[in-house]
Amino acid sequence: MASGDQPDNKNRPYSSLIVDGVQKAAARAMLHAVGFSDADFAKPQIGIASTWSNLTPCNMHIDVLAEAAAMGAEDSGGKAITFNTITVSDGISMGSPGMRYSLVSREVIADSIETVVGAQGFDGFVAIGGCDKNMPGCAMAMARLDRPSVFVYGGSIQPGKEGRDVVSVFEAVGRHAAGKISDIELKDIEATAIPGPGSCAGMYTANTMACAIEALGLSLPNSSAQEAISENKKRDSRAAGEAVFRLVQAGIKPSDILSREAFENAITVTIALEGSTNAVLHLLAIAHEAKVPLFIDDFSRIGRRVPVLADMRPAGKYSMSKLIEIGGIQPLMKLLLEKGLLHGDCMTVTGNTLAENLETVAPYPKGQKVIRPFSNPIKKESHLVIMRGNLAPGGAVAKITGHEGLHFTGSARCFHGEEAALEAILDGTVTDGDVVVIRYEGPRGGPGMREMLSPTSAISGRDLSSSVALITDGRFSGGSRGFVIGHITPEAFDGGPIALIEDGDSISIDAESQLITLNVDEAVMEQRKNDWKPPAPYTDRGVLAKYAKLVSSASEGAVTG
């Protein structure tokens, strides 16, 4: 904003440039048509960024939450304007070419929120997200725009019959392929796993990122731990509208909240909850937008002192609904703060510090089993293991919960793309001792870095998760479990070592030393490198081609700007 353009009203630094003065009569005329009164032009304008869509259960109810947020903003004295951005469904597109658009959608969401808020001159905004990429996309836009803003999580789905969820269906496909369940049993699981609105029920990517964003301070306390269809979630949405108005009045922006210490808080909470590997990718991307220095090795540094405490799906027993029942993540954060593992002086969207928010939080009820005590953790240090070695010199991310062991050596079985690997897993080609190598699925080579829930679930469904490892330059769903390593960089499309593996090569994975090693002589690798030729790009036009041209490596958050 040029110095000569500074408005007189400090609480309306952006909207006044759009609607004040004789020369803005045409803009006011347009806004009269969408419901503005003369009095509204003097109010702070609050955008409500809604990801509503009926294409996925995660987002089908968000229109109602957007209405509640708008009411909160207007009852506080602002003028609310609701607009939509996109979503795509990871669960629906998983295992198909459509999954290439999933991570790309994170960038589109961030770009579209920035575009509307910037073009329309909103003084602040609420961003409401449901499916996996909604959360980081919204947070990236908040960091990039640096205007008073609050994130609202759309909320978790209720568990289906017998505690089922979408991962139950993916794993049932593997059991069906192994002859362990019938067609009728598979159909029953399919029909009863998803009972209604909300995001996937375990500590998968959506719930992980909702919790991480709450720990960052960008959402109101407990926003991450409410069911999608609940009065609590409606109240949370309304309160977010009220909170943004207060933030506009106080001049508190994301740059006042998103410090390096805030990101360390988010990493700590993610580890304690045994959250998704995607949190590494997304927190790096949000930090990039906030211009906060954050690196993949920070996850290892913090992980050495933070235990895994949550016994939650996919590796554990409990769904998000059980964590909601005992009070969400606020009591956990209070425990972590008391242990000196959180930075309590970080500012939050309440206008108070994290420590101040936690002062009155009650402890978990006695006898609950979802969150373990520090004296009896699931794992003494982080399950998110940043691995390196001659196979991943730029880094890789493993999710090592302890259930699958800490060491694995096996023979490579290589596949160009996810579909070929899935077919080989389901038809029994993949056997004990194999290291499944899925390549050309990285940010550039995919393009889009597809998630691998279908193959990892098929491995689990065939009871191979303790005897088969899987490595990829792609990603894993938050619902994946087993001995799996993703985000391998450099990716195959860029000629990284993963592109040079051949069937039968010995691969060793050591989670304790954080090494992934291709046991092949350097001279042989050099010859393979000389003989290697990159494949043709997946496409030469459209959003995927633009993404492939601009995207950074997974170790840098796979960002495009």
pLDDT in tens, 177-233: 889 999 999 999 999 999 999 999 999 999 999 999 999 999 999 999 999 999 999
Q: For residue range 307-358, what is the model confidence (pLDDT) as tens digits?
A: 999 999 988 899 999 999 999 999 999 999 999 999 999 999 999 999 999 9
CA torsion 459-464-470-476 (nearest 10°) is 40
Chain segment 445-459, per-residue pLDDT in tens:
999 999 988 888 889
In CATH terms, the superfamily for domain 41-158+196-358 is: Response regulator (3.40.50.2300)
What's the pLDDT at 479?
62
In three-state secondary structure terms, 34 is coil
Q: Is the pLDDT of residue 4 over 50?
A: no
So what's the architecture of 384-556 in CATH? Answer: 3-Layer(bba) Sandwich (3.50)
Q: What is the mean pLDDT of residues 84-110?
A: 95
Greater model confidence, 398 or 48? 48
Evaluate whether 276 touches 208 at the Cβ level (below 8 Å). yes
What is the DSSP code string of 40-107?
GGGSPEEEEEE---TTSTTTTTHHHHHHHHHHHHHHTT-EEEEEE-----HHHHTTSGGGHHHHHHHH
Question: Using alpha carbons only, what angle is made at residue 338 by residues 334 and 343, rounded to the nearest 5 degrees?
Answer: 80
**If you average pLDDT over residues 430-439, what whole number do you get?**
96
In the predicted structure, residue 1 carries a pLDDT above the cut 50: no
pLDDT at residue 2 greater than cutoff 50: no
Q: How confident is the model at residue 467 (pLDDT cuts 50, 70, 90)?
A: very high
- Structural tokens at position 69: 């947020």
**Quick one: which of 461, 455, 453 has its CA closest to 172?**
461
Q: Strands 483-489 and 395-399, how do they pair?
A: antiparallel
pLDDT of residue 404: 66
Span 513-517, mean pLDDT? 95
- Residue 5: per-residue pLDDT: 42
Output DSSP code: residue 152: E
The structural domains of the chain, with segments of one domain joined by +, span 41-158+196-358, 159-195, 384-556
Percentage of the chain modeled with pLDDT above 90: 86
Rg (CA), the chain: 24
Of residues 463 and 109, more confidently modeled: 109
Residue 147 near residue 120, CB atoms below 8 Å: no
**pLDDT at residue 401 tops 80:** no
Q: What is the pLDDT of residue 3?
A: 32
The residues annotated as belonging to the active site are: 477
